Amino acid sequence: MSLALDPAAQDLLFREARTANTFTDEPVTDEQVQAIYDLVKYGPTAFNQTPLRVVLVRSAEARERLVTHMAEGNQAKTAGAPLVAILAADNEFHEELPTLLPHFPQAKDLFFSERPARESAASLNAALQAAYFIVGVRAAGLAAGPMTGYDAAGVQKEFLDDDHTPLMVVNIGKPGEDAWFPRSPRLSFDEVVTTV
């Protein structure tokens, strides 16, 4: 059975898309980032939660600060990317729920009155949104280099606050020379899917 999505789009988003490790100098504009967000904001989350927060690291000074918190193997990649985004979970996302769920305004108090419940929901749903964001970067014809190799406490202290938990750092841009590692294998359908 074929998919509804055009095969070229399937390649762009998944089969040919790779995690980039080097980038060209071509800038990534605010307009591109807004177009990415305006597309991926429609990805489903529980209760229409939108806990993802994106910090764009553009200035040289901010980039230097971020690079010091990256794992050694990620420092050069982060220093050389045209744009770097810190993706974080807002643990106080529930404050927006009455606006986002006009048909269920009591969700804020019923499910998210306790901080541990909010943190758990924020982590899961912001991770979903982060995955959509990466696919959106690919849909824009750009490459993403998502990384979790960094000092999370340092990134939080430097760029966020106690209500925001960093999830990943994503380098964004046009792929440069020798941008790809060899593709690693993936599990087959039969190794992943069972029917009961």
Using a 10 angstrom Cβ sphere, with 0-12 exposed, 13-18 middle and 19 or more buried, the burial of residue 2 is exposed
Higher-confidence position of 108 and 170: 170
Q: What does the alpha-carbon distance between residue 13 and residue 136 come to, in Å, rounded to a whole number?
A: 8
Report percent pLDDT > 90 for the chain: 79
Q: What is the pLDDT of residue 1?
A: 64
Residue 16 tokens, joined: 């040919």
What is the average pLDDT across 145-161? 97
Q: What does the alpha-carbon distance between residue 21 and residue 125 come to, in Å, rounded to a whole number?
A: 27
Has residue 174 got a pLDDT over 90?
A: yes
Strand partners, 150: 70
Using a 10 angstrom Cβ sphere, with 0-12 exposed, 13-18 middle and 19 or more buried, the burial of residue 3 is exposed
CA distances from 130 to 37, 44, 71, 179 (A): 10, 12, 20, 22
Give the model confidence (pLDDT) of 157-167 as tens digits: 999 999 999 99
Three-class SS state of 20: coil
Q: What does the alpha-carbon distance between residue 120 and residue 64 come to, in Å, rounded to a whole number?
A: 31
Has residue 106 got a pLDDT over 90?
A: no
Q: Sign of the C-alpha dihedral, residues 109, 44, 119, 169? A: negative
Q: What is the pLDDT of residue 182?
A: 87
Has residue 98 got a pLDDT over 90?
A: no
Q: What is the pLDDT of residue 178?
A: 87
